Amino acid sequence: MLIAKHQNIIDNAVKANHERTFYAQYPEHPKAYGEEAPPQGEATFKDMLNKPFSLLKQKVTEGWAGEEVSPYTREPLGITYPVIAVDELVKAGKRAGSRWAQLSVADRASILTETLEKIKDHFFTIAHATMHTTGQSFMMSFQASGPHANDRALEAIAMGYQQLQHFPEQQTWEKPMGKISIKLEKTFKAIPRGLGLVIGCSTFPVWNSLPGMYADLITGNAVIVKPHPKAVLPIAIVVAAIQQVLEENGQDPYTCQLAADSSEHLVTKELCEHPEIALIDYTGGSSFGNYVESLKNKTVFTEKAGVNSVILDSVKDIDAVLNNLAFSVSLYSGQMCTAPQNFFIPESGVNTPNGKLSFNEVATKFKDAIVALVNNPKMGAGTLGAVQNDDTVQRVKDAQHIGGKVLLSGAPVANEEFTGARTFSPTVLEVSSADTGIFEKELFGPVVLLVKTKDTDHSIQLARQMAISHGAITCGAYTTDDTVKEKIADAMNSAFTPVSFNFTGFIWVNQHAAFSDFHVTGGNPAGNASFTNPEFIVKRFVWVGNRTYVD
């Protein structure tokens, strides 16, 4: 029944995955969800504050913990989550997984699609939860943790649905041998690798976790979700919704478990190193990511840090370009893994239809565009959102003293709705192309480095080297010259980095659309996996074929 109900959604998603045209199962505009949903969602969120989170179906074994603080109010959310011993999580996950693996692919796909429909009912609650844990603006919180995350999850379901049916379940094999023949009945099964672990981050607790969770689940693996202790609520609501749908459909809710912990007693390594954990999805800093990648006998999917570049060669409309880039660096205060950091600009300047614009002119215009955006009362606070934690603020403050010429000093920006919000506008530094010690690091947060290069070839060379040595998730490039365009594409693609050319208007390099853009390529140090290419799915199960001799 559930299969019939959702077959259309799944078929459309499989088609969209292949074609890579624009597709969205879950509209990104809040108005698409009715007038009642926003106030209801906010009320539900407020009602969750200052009490234990009670929606999970998991049995508490060790007590309760919670330490979330809103970057907007700087006040604790006061919510606690059940803390469960690692061995209990693993035992329950193994038991649930062995049952989940027995289901047909079609059954799993339909139940998982039903979970997305259930999560949809919580989009506005999740939006407030995301806002008050990550510091994202309300609109970004809604879109990234709501429709965009659900679309990424559906993308993973669809890719799994297809890959798991790559080979027939059974087949007769008959080999002619002259006058006789040999006949075998064969079966082909996609056996799940084992128990999955998804490790979340504090800035995108839902968007970055759902692809791995749904990739594990569609391929028949149970999953344990280990959120960042400072950003639990958004994914806790998601896990609770999944558990509810599992139970409603006669499945074991422990197929998807939440593993809340505390900064005082993190369980991430204990989980990672547990012999029963076969699959690990990780989003976060490179240091822990490298540890995860080094684990033996685990299949690991990582998204770590990178340094994203913009190459400025020639433009049609410099103001349109710099307004676009000013938004890109300001959006969520540069706390997106896709935000550009290093801007490579030739010392001779940038070509425009009205002649060369010098390096300094470009730098000044860029600075001005950022200042205009962040000081625009209708735009500034909403674009910047809040900074997730004090470490990031400190890093941005420190950035003013790491060398280079400070063109613009970041500073707090007033937020009318939340006067106590932790805000910080972008800092812009000019550095020389010799200052690799400065621009080869990811300076997570609102820090922009303008790197003066000899020429565009030099810009390309540096951007490529950064991607190879330190990783890159995005690269923006501006050129009106097709030869240069091809050169940039070839150079960056050879470093497994995608390029976005000449973005202006309402589209930004930071955005990766489900069903069309691969998020992270998996080919450079920024991460070894990609949302959602076939590799993201096929590594989670093993094809095994049995043969029976037929007399």
User: Which stretches of the chain bind its own copies, using CB under 8 A?
Assistant: 18-22, 163, 166-168, 171-177, 180, 182, 184, 186-189, 191, 193, 294, 296, 316, 485, 489, 493-494, 496-507, 513, 516-518, 521-523, 530, 533-535, 538-539, 542-549, 551
Closest approach of its own copies to the CB of residue 464, in Å: 13
Annotate 105-129 with b (16+ C-beta within 10 A) or e (fewer).
bbebbbbbbbbbbbbbebbbbbbbb
- In sequence order, which ranges of 20-75 are alpha helices (DSSP H)? 37-48
If the CB atoms of residues 64 and 188 are measured against its own copies, the closer one turns out to be 188
Closest approach of its own copies to the CB of residue 174, in Å: 6
Closest approach of its own copies to the CB of residue 151, in Å: 13
Report the SS3 class of residue 403: coil
Residues 253/57, Cβ–Cβ less than 8 Å: yes
If the CB atoms of residues 446 and 498 are measured against its own copies, the closer one turns out to be 498
Give the residue carrying structure tokens 């006061």: 78
Closest approach of its own copies to the CB of residue 20, in Å: 5
DSSP state of 332: G
Residues 339/328, Cβ–Cβ less than 8 Å: yes
Give the residue carrying structure tokens 């590799």: 535
If the CB atoms of residues 332 and 503 are measured against its own copies, the closer one turns out to be 503
Tokens of 151: 């679309």
Closest approach of its own copies to the CB of residue 157, in Å: 17
Distance CA 66, CA 83 (A): 9
If the CB atoms of residues 167 and 327 are measured against its own copies, the closer one turns out to be 167
Q: What is the largest CA-CA distance in the chain?
A: 88
If the CB atoms of residues 52 and 523 are measured against its own copies, the closer one turns out to be 523
Closest approach of its own copies to the CB of residue 357, in Å: 20
If the CB atoms of residues 21 and 54 are measured against its own copies, the closer one turns out to be 21
Report the alpha-carbon angle 518-524-525, nearest 5. Answer: 115
Distances from the Cα of 302 to the Cα of 105, 164, 264, 280, angstroms: 26, 22, 24, 8
Pick from 21, 167, 135: nearest CA to 71: 135
How many Cβ atoms are within 10 Å of 43's Cβ, its own excluded?
13
If the CB atoms of residues 187 and 400 are measured against its own copies, the closer one turns out to be 187
Which sign, positive or negative, has the C-alpha torsion 438, 285, 336, 211? positive
Distance CA 472, CA 463 (A): 9
Closest approach of its own copies to the CB of residue 420, in Å: 34
Closest approach of its own copies to the CB of residue 213, in Å: 21
If the CB atoms of residues 87 and 173 are measured against its own copies, the closer one turns out to be 173
Tokens of 189: 């099964």
Contacts of 400 (CB under 8 A, 6+ apart): 406, 409, 410, 427, 429
Closest approach of its own copies to the CB of residue 449, in Å: 23
Q: Can you spell out the DSSP letters for 175-199?
A: EEETTEEEEEEEEEEEEE--EEEEE
Distance CA 61, CA 261 (A): 12
Distance CA 43, CA 46 (A): 5
If the CB atoms of residues 85 and 182 are measured against its own copies, the closer one turns out to be 182
Q: Which helix (H) or strand (E) holds 326?
A: helix 318-330
If the CB atoms of residues 418 and 496 are measured against its own copies, the closer one turns out to be 496
What's CA 191's distance to the chain center, in Å?
27
Closest approach of its own copies to the CB of residue 548, in Å: 4
If the CB atoms of residues 13 and 363 are measured against its own copies, the closer one turns out to be 13
- In sequence order, which ranges of 308-358 are alpha helices (DSSP H)? 318-330
If the CB atoms of residues 11 and 19 are measured against its own copies, the closer one turns out to be 19
Q: Which helix (H) or strand (E) holds 198?
A: strand 195-199
Closest approach of its own copies to the CB of residue 299, in Å: 10
Closest approach of its own copies to the CB of residue 477, in Å: 9
